[in-house]
Structure 1
Amino acid sequence: MSYQSVFQPGLFAGQVVVVTGGGSGIGRCIAHELAALGAHVVLIGRQVAKLHDVAGEIVAQGGRVSFHPCDIRQEEAVKTTIAAIVVAQGRIDGLVNNAGGQYITPLEAISAKGWEAVINTNLTGGFLMARECYLQAMQDKGGSIVNIVADMWGSMPSMGHSGAARAGMVSFTETAAAEWAKSGVRVNAVAPGYIASSGMDHYPPEAGPMLREMRNTVPLGRFGTESETSAAVVFLLSKAANFISGSTLRVDGARPQVRMGWPMQRPDDQALQREAIKPFDGFHLSQAPKVLQS
């Protein structure tokens, strides 16, 4: 099998797209789809073994891929990594700022060190990657940047550090779209809601019941798939979105629209199979998170 994208084959032929956090989860899925559509995908992450494995998967499907281990929180490492990519590939047409992470804890229990770690991963690292791609590759040739944020609309209780970082990234997206338009660079964001991804398995076991229950707070009555998130990213990177910049595309099944006191009615099993809302999963290597299998 191969990736079953809804987009035109060869859509990104000849293009080089960098995907941070490409060694697992949503980033892995995005990398596979971009490679299936003809892009040379450059995987970025901290764990070489994961990058190596995903690169092997893409090569086995006939895709073009390379990888560079990098801690995106380190400014000099980011500068060096982007320079190496430009030397090796000659260009960078797209950047998907997907790398991120957080942990569950109330605000009063977050230390300064913990706060900084999450801010640096989810905001500062994305800024550094975008800035260097712009300066070293896109300023003279144009390009497209997609920042992955989160469903932080109206707050993120127990993940206040991540909510602050993601909100900051939305603001950065809007500012960069305005400032870099002169160079022919578009900057957008994708905000995934509750997506059934391997990232769910990074939370402690006691979070399992809460994670499994989250789909019941979504008007569409289910979790989203990695492929549905990837499709939003691919659209924003594509020429079909050439007049879209500074926007944040939500992929969340209308979850932020839920209001206390409103008796939400979720689709039944029959309705969930209707074409307009049934899950799309084009990723041939997709696996449900372990926490959702129990």
Structure 2
Amino acid sequence: MEQALTTKGISFGRITADADGTIDHGSVEGVDPDLTIRPFGWKGHQATLRDIAEESLHIHQGLLSNRIQLAVRDGTLDPGPYGMGPWYDVDQDGVSLEIDSGMLTTVVGYLAQLEAPVIRPPRDPGLLDAWAAGRSHFDEIGCSGCHVPTLELDDPKLDARQPAEPDRAAFIIDVAKDGDGPKIEPKYGGYSTSYLVHLFSDLKRHDMGAALATPAPQGTIPARVFLTRSLWGLAETAPYLHDGRAPTVHDAIVLHGGEATRARDAYLALDEPARASVRVFLASLSREPKLFVP
């Protein structure tokens, strides 16, 4: 029996089950054989905010969670990526048990309540015409095939607690209501509705070509393969690409290869005013300005 794998209108290929119970994942596309969507990380290797927060604290802050440390102690986690020391100080920084589960939950709670990026069309009438043209070109040349403008979220509620502690009280965050605004918008009025997330991603992995390949694979994810980067908030995130090699949006587009080659070539085939209009549109994928008082 063969089953198409489609969710939110995105195709992840097909899976086949033979009569003897054997599962064939050979036609699965853009996701691991376990079929779990992993929307975090450049290569789409983390499934939850908690996982990516834990990893980021280690990579960027040098802080190991208690969960990692205790898993090293119990022998259920390879200490190699974390250091050469004994389990109680595997990273050899002189500090043990640095991030407990409650601390990690507060980080998840903070991240889940950040404002959603917005689309801010230019106010200048001349640029507004270019913006509208750029939005059309974005679809016409194939960018939206992977950078899918909008996905629907059925349930906006997130439990930020540690999954291994189900007996504790839930810490529920409604990402459509709680925290800083603006928020994702409801599709319909009324109490029961799905929500529109203008993410500009299909949350799927793609081969981006040899030029963008990382020096090594990430686990089972090949060096050439990356998650479709979400474009919301793009205007605030230069430089671009996984290693910051592209100083401008134009440079980032030109460096697309692999499965994105056709869309890249279609962009380059546009005349300069049309290419500029695409960039004007992409520059509108931003965030609402905020006043910070020191």
Global fold match (TM > 0.5): no
Give the structure-2-normalised TM-score. 0.23
Larger Rg: 2
Higher helix share: 1
